[in-house]
Amino acid sequence: MVALFAVKPAADFTMGNLWGPPSRFAGFENFSRVFTDSAMPRYLLNSVFITVPTVLGAVALSCMTGFALAVYGFRGNLWIFFMFVAGNFVPFQILMVPVRDLTLQLGLYDTRAGLVLFHIAFQTGFCTLFMRNFIRALPRELIEAARAEGVSEIRIFWYVVLPLMRPAIAALSVLIFTFIWNGYFWAIVLTQGTESQPVTAGITAFNSQFRAAYHMMSAGSIIAALPPVLMFFLMQKHFIAGLTLGAVK
């Protein structure tokens, strides 16, 4: 239905032709207007500058924390892991006011940096759970053999464990990219201007800019949905391998 609305001319909605076939094909006109008559290019750029650093930061941190929690049996290991996991069960709505107040106090409200830091903090818990369980399934003998050869722990992580984590990193990157790119709730809570709003929040501005222009909103929604779809197809092989690795012997 969104695709149908995106190729209809504005006159169809004025005449009440909501569900019928378009009177003429206006797809190129609608999609071009999204880029020329709105701030869609800026919203897309904001989404890139928010999503890519978040994916890099969350995945990098979770690789290190997952390695530490999976390999080292220090006191309090389970409690620290529990803290990472427990954060995933806290409803976002409860944190809305405290998080907004914190960003205001730190001067990060309505900034891309504030949204990036927030997403990294909240996504690291799920990513750590994913990476920790993945690393625990790796052959322990590889790490022990490297230690017996006198290899340092940092080099074990970088040259032994990290190469084996590539399927998991690819799968997790696709998941987090999709979560952050399609995120709407925190985008409207922590941002409010075109200089920092991602595309999901920016499309809502079409309600005022293009009053009842469903064809414009539909075209913008399709454009916003393309990047995660393209990334999934590009990373499909690694994504499936990362999710199924360890499911069977």
Supply the range of the domain harboring residue 123. Answer: 40-213
Q: Which of 171, 174, 176, 165 is nearest to 57 (CA)?
A: 176
Instruction: Judge residue 63's burial from the number of C-beta atoms within 10 Å of its C-beta, 0-12 exposed, 13-18 middle, 19 or more buried.
Output: buried
Q: Is residue 75 part of a domain?
A: yes
The CA distance from 52 to 46, in Å, is 10
Task: Give the pLDDT of residue 62.
Answer: 94
Q: Is residue 98 part of a domain?
A: yes
Q: What is the pTM of this model?
A: 0.86
First-to-final CA distance of the chain = 44
CATH, residue 84: 1.10.3720.10
Q: Is residue 17 part of a domain?
A: no
Q: Which of 175, 203, 177, 206 is nearest to 188 (CA)?
A: 203
Task: Give the pLDDT of residue 247.
Answer: 45
The CA distance from 144 to 161, in Å, is 12
Task: Give the pLDDT of residue 59.
Answer: 95
The CA distance from 28 to 42, in Å, is 20
Q: Is residue 246 part of a domain?
A: no
Task: Give the pLDDT of residue 248.
Answer: 42
Q: Is residue 238 part of a domain?
A: no
Q: Is residue 116 part of a domain?
A: yes
> What is the per-residue pLDDT across 162-198, written as a single tens digit (0 to 9) for each?
998 888 898 899 889 999 999 989 999 999 888 899 9
Number of domains in the chain: 1
Task: Give the pLDDT of residue 75.
Answer: 87
Q: CA dist 178 to 18, 43, 99, 222, 234, Å?
A: 30, 16, 22, 15, 13
Q: Is residue 2 part of a domain?
A: no
For the chain, 249 residues long, give each residue's pLDDT as a single digit of tens. Answer: 778 888 888 777 777 777 777 888 877 888 888 888 888 899 999 999 999 999 999 999 999 999 999 999 888 888 999 988 888 888 878 888 999 999 999 999 999 999 999 999 999 999 999 999 899 988 889 899 999 989 999 999 999 999 988 888 988 998 899 999 999 899 999 998 888 999 988 887 776 555 567 777 888 888 888 898 888 888 777 666 655 554 443
**Which string of DSSP letters, residue by residue, matches 10-73?**
HHHHHTT-SSS--SS--HHHHHHHHHHSSSHHHHHHHHHHHHHHHHHHHHHHHHHHHHHHHH--
Task: Give the pLDDT of residue 21.
Answer: 78
- Helices marked H in the chain: 2-6, 10-14, 27-36, 40-71, 77-86, 92-105, 112-136, 140-148, 153-155, 162-164, 166-181, 185-190, 199-202, 206-209, 214-234, 236-244
Q: Is residue 129 part of a domain?
A: yes
171 Cβ neighbours under 8 A, 6+ residues apart: 238, 239, 240, 241, 242, 243
Q: Are 165 and 131 in contact (CB under 8 A)?
A: yes
Q: CA dist 169 to 172, 226, 236, Å?
A: 5, 22, 13
